[in-house]
Amino acid sequence: MTTPERPRPPADSDLAASTKDQVCPDNDGKIRMHRDDEQNSTPLLPVRTALVLLLAVLAGGVAGLLTVFARHSPYEAALVGLATTAAAIKFFHWLIF
């Protein structure tokens, strides 16, 4: 009875040339893919910017919902929500250092 051969990891030439992927065996023998630039990557948005945008969108959504609940048309609510979002971006940019 023969033992099945362990699948060999793909050679570097088998990987796509446009990426920086490498095959790295872990301690448990499993093969996982990772990218070289993962350790040196920066976030897409800084935390401050994400927080300002999140709070502004929440404020605009609340203002729009309150406008709808006040029995105004959805078009007016959308305009109020967008205007509130724009004003909130300016306000939270000033408020959060």
Tens-binned pLDDT, residue by residue, of the chain (97 aa): 666 677 666 665 555 544 445 555 555 666 666 565 556 678 899 999 999 999 999 999 999 999 999 999 999 999 999 999 999 999 999 999 8
For residue 82, is it within any domain? yes
Q: Give the count of domains, the chain.
A: 1
Compute the distance between CA of residue 67 and CA of residue 72 in angstroms, rounded to an integer.
Answer: 6
- Which range of residues forms the domain containing residue 73? 47-95
3 state DSSP class of 31:
strand
The number of angstroms, rounded, from the C-alpha of 2 to the middle of its chain's C-alpha atoms is 49
Check residue 56 and give its pLDDT: 98
Contacts of 32 (CB under 8 A, 6+ apart): 24, 26
For residue 21, is it within any domain? no
For residue 55, is it within any domain? yes
Check residue 5 and give its pLDDT: 73
3 state DSSP class of 51:
helix
Q: Is the dihedral of CA 70, 75, 76, 80 positive or negative?
A: positive
For residue 77, is it within any domain? yes
